[in-house]
Amino acid sequence: MLAGSGWIDAGVVNAGDGTHEHPTQALLDAFTMRRRLHGAGSRGRDLDGVRVVIVGDIVHSRVARSNLWLLRTLGAEVTFVAPPTLLPSAVGAWPASVRYDLDDALAEQPDVVMMLRIQSERMHEAFFPNPREYSRQWGLSAERWATLPDGALVMHPGPMIRGLEISDEAADSPQSTILEQVANGVAVRMAVLFLSMTGNDGAAPTETEIV
């Protein structure tokens, strides 16, 4: 995420590039998980064994990609859930489990459920029959939310499409971290900018060090 440039003497921060990567979002998401699951001051690989289910438009999501790499580095287990049309062709080679049925994935009682935005602006063909069918099959409805363990977190990188990806009950529940993600994003991105300007003994810090 922070790297020297071959053209200028400056750090380069990836603030999100297309459908490829969004490292600062992954950092703030991991930071939010740590604080909610383990409390302030948690460090190291304390996401070991945490089960994270990421649901929705994986193929267009830079958030899903960056979260996968960072969460796996921190020891979490990641499962993608989406219709086959919204999964990248190379997903079989990624270090994540893949499910097509959200109810089956939630039956395994995950610690974190992260819903993704349907990026209709990137869609030039029909990736699913219609919004109602998508919501019925892959949306975090009030009924699905009610099956989650009491301590499970509900996350969304935003902006949310309520009623399609996530219900009001899930988005506004005590388990939701969505507003915290927004607030933590300010602090995490300030830290990234600080480290990019001050350096770290001449070397760019890793994502794990920043978290």
| CB-based burial label for 12 (10 Å; 0-12, 13-18, 19+) | middle
DSSP state at residue 171: H
Number of separate domains in the chain: 1
Give the range of the structural domain holding residue 30, as residue numbers without chain letter.
2-210
Distance of CA 64 to the CA centre of its chain: 5
Residue identified by tokens 């020297």 is 4
Dump pLDDT digits (tens) for 131-186: 889 999 999 999 999 999 999 999 999 999 999 999 999 999 999 999 999 999 99
- Listing DSSP states for 44-71 in one string gives SSTTTT-EEEEES--TT-HHHHHHHHHH
pTM score of the predicted model: 0.85
Dump pLDDT digits (tens) for 17-75: 766 788 999 999 999 999 999 876 655 567 999 999 999 999 989 999 999 999 999 99
CATH number (domain holding residue 115): 3.40.50.1370
DSSP state at residue 19: T
Distance CA 133, CA 114 (A): 20
Residues 6+ apart with CB under 8 A from 79: 51, 52, 53, 54, 96, 97, 98, 99, 105, 110
